[in-house]
């Protein structure tokens, strides 16, 4: 049992191979309800170009385009298995040059300054080895007044404790710790939304 939990937790952090691929399919399904709830907190109609960091199986990339057909969406993920799965999920949109997916770690992402109107991070920030550095880079590639949205399962103290036991996390922060960090980095209009499931939080802020 412990071995299974270890394999699942390693694959949530860094999906790899057949098991990783299976977990990505499960995440595309299992994360979708809360992801759509979080996306509903953002006005997509005034956005043109979006970056989804840690795009996993790529479901949120297609969610964005389904909600605003004019968007151009970039996805990055440090796992090759995730990138392959995201490419498969969004094949037609990639062929139409509306979606671009690449294998990049947030801490070394290679985009020009002030490129994106919206940057999202669904269930990924707690795997980053340096959240502060990650947020600084998010700020660099975000347009002035661009929005940054974080969704995390494990928003409450109880959920956090449960998650950090089963998932191989680097940094689990509580909502107020995220808020303080974002403030320190001069993000403004910070809004925190708590899902009725009592474990999912969505934090939206503006550059
Ligand atoms: C739990 S999955 C979430 C996937 C997807 N966002 C979702 O909500 O279903 C976490 C994803 O973040 C990616 N990831 C973890 N650390 C990362 C980093 N430093 N840079 C980019 N991607 C990262 C993992 O490879 C994995 O695909």
Record the tokens describing residue 87, joined without a space: 């490419």
Q: What whole-number distance in Å separates Cα of residue 178 and Cα of residue 132? A: 10
User: Residue 108: what are its φ and ψ, rounded to 5°?
Assistant: -135, 30
Q: What whole-number distance in Å separates Cα of residue 195 and Cα of residue 189? A: 19
Sheet holding 99-103, edge to edge: 99-103, 72-77, 49-53, 116-122, 142-153, 200-206, 188-194
The confidence score (pLDDT) of residue 163 equals 66
Q: What whole-number distance in Å separates Cα of residue 12 and Cα of residue 23? A: 7
Domain count, the chain: 1
Q: What whole-number distance in Å separates Cα of residue 204 and Cα of residue 147? A: 7
What is the CATH number for 58? 3.40.50.150
**Ligand 1 centroid distance, CA of 48 (Å):** 23
Query: Given the CA of residue 27, which atom of ligand 1 is nearest to it?
Result: 9
Predicted structure pTM score: 0.94
User: Residue 112: what are its φ and ψ, rounded to 5°?
Assistant: -70, 160
Q: How far is CA 204 from CA 15, 31, 55, 59, 107, in A?
A: 26, 18, 18, 20, 20
Residues having CB closer than 6 A to ligand 1 are 12-15, 27, 31, 53-57, 76-79, 82, 105-107, 122-124, 127-128
Query: Given the CA of residue 52, which atom of ligand 1 is nearest to it?
Result: 6
* Residue 71: domain span: 2-206
Per-10-residue mean pLDDT, the chain, length 207 = 70 87 92 96 97 98 97 98 98 97 97 98 94 97 98 74 67 87 98 92 97
């Amino acid at each position: 049992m412990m071995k299974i939990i270890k394999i699942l937790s390693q694959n949530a952090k860094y999906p790899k191979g057949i098991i990783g691929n299976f977990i990505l399919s499960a995440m595309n399904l299992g994360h979708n309800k809360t992801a759509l709830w979080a996306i509903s907190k953002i006005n997509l109609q005034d956005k043109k170009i979006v970056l989804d960091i840690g795009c996993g199986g790529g479901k949120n990339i297609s969610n964005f385009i389904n909600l605003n057909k004019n968007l151009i969406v970039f996805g990055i993920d440090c796992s090759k298995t995730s990138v392959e799965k995201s490419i498969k999920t969004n094949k037609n949109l990639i062929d139409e040059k509306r979606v671009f997916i690449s294998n990049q770690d947030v801490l070394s992402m290679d985009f020009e300054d002030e490129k994106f109107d919206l940057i999202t991070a669904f269930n990924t920030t707690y795997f980053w080895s340096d959240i502060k550095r990650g947020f600084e880079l998010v700020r660099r590639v975000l347009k002035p007044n661009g929005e940054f949205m974080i969704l995390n399962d494990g928003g409450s103290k109880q959920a956090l404790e449960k998650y950090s036991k089963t998932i191989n996390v680097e940094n689990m922060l509580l909502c107020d710790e995220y808020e303080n960090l974002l403030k320190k980095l001069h993000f403004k209009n910070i809004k925190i939304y708590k899902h009725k499931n009592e474990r999912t939080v969505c934090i939206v802020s503006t550059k």
